[in-house]
Amino acid sequence: MMLDKGGFHYDPAQPSDLEQILQHEPLNDPQELQRAEDAISRLQDQNLSKYSAFDPRMPLPKPGFILLIDQTRGDGAVRASGGGQIDFDAMLAHARAHFPDHKIIIRTHPETRFNLREGYFSARHCDSPQITLFNRATSPWHLLERAKAVYSFSSQLGFEAILAGHRPHIFGQPFYAGWGLTVDHKPMPWRSRKLSSSQLFLAAMIKYPIWYDAYRDRLCSLETILDNLEAKTRTWREDHQGWSASSISRWKRQHFRTFFGRYKSVKFQNTPSEDLKRKHA
């Protein structure tokens, strides 16, 4: 939960509480920085992100591509930075001009994958074999690991690109820009401090938010949230393709459906006795 008295964390028009933390708090306690680094490692190792319903084993483009990150049209974070189609077109033009010999992968937003909302990039932007729309549900960490350079307007993936070791090109004014960790195409001179990626994470993910454990109905730490997210994501990845079960007595099947069938119904094969009964019926 973001209980911010100053403004919205994604709106650069006025300093939010997050911006005040980033600008003025020391952010130099070794134990706190270690917490931040440990949490970043957990996100990467477990392939956790804002949208974590993907199979980390999915195939990916060959390394060395330029990654452009699309967002949903009219998103609040885009509007807050005064963005629109012209800015996303400018991102693509800059990538083409500065990396003429590299493949450009446009990573579509998960919501456009299910036709819930439109993005700023579409098939019309793929006017050469150099450019590809990438709409498969894959780990963003694996994409970032393989990318040579990253472009974003204000997407959270721009933040994750920093955590993955990139210095992304940013065409908006998100909370993570202006601290010496990004190439800013809309500079914010009032953000003059230079931070490390660990300091940025410490401020944005540990000091600023109030974390709530919905399973135990109480406030908690980021580490508890990561515990919950890891468990929930693991069950989805293990169960979302469904299960087949054989030789399960009928009285047990509802229990199996409850335990294994959250994402897809369990398919049951008859027990030998049932097959025998059906044969002699």
Q: Is the pLDDT of residue 73 over 50?
A: yes
**If you average pLDDT over every residue of the chain, what do you get?**
93
Sign of the torsion formed by the C-alpha atoms of 197, 200, 201 and 202: positive
CATH of the domain at 29: 3.40.50
Determine the pLDDT at residue 271.
Answer: 60
Strands 147-152 and 65-69: parallel
Distance from C-alpha of 240 to C-alpha of 259, rounded to nearest angstrom: 12
pLDDT in tens, 199-223: 999 999 999 999 999 999 999 999 9
* pLDDT at res. 272: 55
In a domain, 8, yes or no: no
pLDDT at 114 over 80: no
> What is the radius of gyration, based on Cα positions, of the chain?
23
168 occurs within a structural domain:
yes
Same domain, 177 and 247: no
DSSP string, the chain: ----SS--TT-TTS--HHHHHHHHS----HHHHHHHHHHHHHHHHTT--SS--S-TTS--PPSSEEEEE--BTT-HHHHHTT--HHHHHHHHHHHHHH-TTS-EEEE--HHHHTTSS-BS--GGG--STTEEEE-S---HHHHHHHEEEEEESS-HHHHHHHHTT---EESS--TTSSSSSSEESS--TT------HHHHHIIIIIIS--EEETTTTEEE-HHHHHHHHHHHHHHHHHHTT--EEES--HHHHHHHHHHH-SSSPPEEEPPHHHHHHHHH-
First to last CA, the chain: 61
Judge whether 159 and 204 are in contact, CB under 8 Å: yes
Res 112: pLDDT: 87
Confidence band of 269 (pLDDT split at 50, 70, 90) = confident
Quick one: 201 and 259 in the same domain?
Answer: no
Kindly tell me if the per-residue pLDDT of 4 is higher than 60. yes
pLDDT higher than threshold 50 for residue 276: no
* pLDDT for residue 147 is more than 60: yes
Structural domain boundaries enclosing 39: 17-212
- The domain total for the chain is 2
| 235 assigned to some structural domain | no
Measured between alpha carbons, how far is 116 from 118 in angstroms, rounded to an integer?
7
**43, 164: one domain:** yes
Is residue 24 in a domain?
Answer: yes
Residue at 167 is within a domain? yes
Q: If pLDDT is split at 50, 70 and 90, which confidence band does 24 have?
A: very high
- pLDDT tens string 225-267: 999 999 999 999 999 999 999 889 899 999 999 988 888 989 9
Residue 206: what pLDDT?
Answer: 98
Domain co-membership, 83 together with 148: yes
Same domain, 201 and 62: yes
Residue 176 lies in a domain: yes
| 195 & 67 share domain | yes
What's the confidence (pLDDT) of residue 68?
Answer: 98
The 10s digit of each residue's pLDDT in 164-180 is 999 999 999 999 999 99
Q: What percent of the chain has pLDDT over 70?
A: 96
Q: Are residues 174 and 256 in the same domain?
A: no
155/273 same-domain check: no
Task: Assess whether 178 and 252 both reside in one domain.
Answer: no
